[in-house]
Amino acid sequence: MSVSTENPLLEASFLQRLQRLQLLVRRPLPGQWKGEHRSPRRGYSVEFADFREYTPGDDLRYVDWKAYGRLDRLYLKQYVEEEDIYVLLLVDCSRSMRFGQPTKLLFAAQVAAAIGHIALCRFHRVGAGLIADGTVTWMRPLRGTQSLIPLLRFLGSAPEARATSLHEAARQVAKGWKHRGAVYLLTDLMDERWEEALRALLAPRHELTLIHTLSPEELQPGFMGDLLLVDSESGETREVSLSPAALTLYRRALDQLMEKASALCNHFGGKYLLTDTSQSLETLILREMRLRRVLA
- Quick one: pLDDT at residue 122? 87
| pLDDT tens digit sequence for 129-145 | 999 988 999 999 999 88
- Quick one: pLDDT at residue 57? 61
- Quick one: pLDDT at residue 70? 82
Just give the CATH number of 12-28+85-291.
3.40.50.410
- Quick one: pLDDT at residue 148? 94
Residue spans per domain, the chain: 12-28+85-291, 34-83
Closest CA to 290 of 24, 112, 107, 90: 24
Contacts for 243 with CB less than 8 Å, ≥ 6 apart: 224
| pLDDT tens digit sequence for 35-93 | 444 444 444 444 554 566 776 666 677 788 888 788 888 877 655 445 578 999 999 99
CB 162: neighbour CB atoms within 10 A? 15
DSSP per residue, 75-116? EEEEEEEEE--EEEEEEE-SGGGG-TTTTHHHHHHHHHHHHH
Parts of the chain with a pLDDT under 70? 1-7, 26-52, 55-59, 77-83
- Quick one: pLDDT at residue 63? 81
- Quick one: pLDDT at residue 55? 67
Contacts for 205 with CB less than 8 Å, ≥ 6 apart: 180
- Quick one: pLDDT at residue 60? 74
Side by side, the strands of the sheet bearing 75-83 are 34-43, 75-83, 47-53
